Amino acid sequence: MRRRSAIEASVTVALDRGSGVPLHRQLYDGLREAVLAGRLRSGMRLPSTRALASELGVSRNTVLGAFL
């Protein structure tokens, strides 16, 4: 069985720590908007939760909350 190659998506989401909106919700909204705008396409892989948390400067639980 041949493995499908998947391109890892680069995730650029601006998080506003001063906003009243929780960070996990801002991340969820940013990812959703990227999918709807076509920047994240079917078959693209997101970075691991640890890598994304490190890249965004948030805890892994924040990223996990956005993915739920």
Q: What is the pLDDT of residue 1?
A: 55
Q: What is the pLDDT of residue 10?
A: 75
For the stretch 9-59, pLDDT in tens is 777 899 999 999 999 999 999 999 999 999 999 889 999 999 999 999 999
Look up the pTM and report it: 0.84
Q: What is the mean pLDDT of residues 54-66?
A: 96
Domain ranges within the chain, ordered by starting residue: 23-67
Q: What is the pLDDT of residue 32?
A: 95
Q: What is the DSSP letter of 46?
A: P
Q: Which two tokens stand for residue 20?
A: 């009243």
Cα(26)–Cα(43) distance, integer angstroms: 23
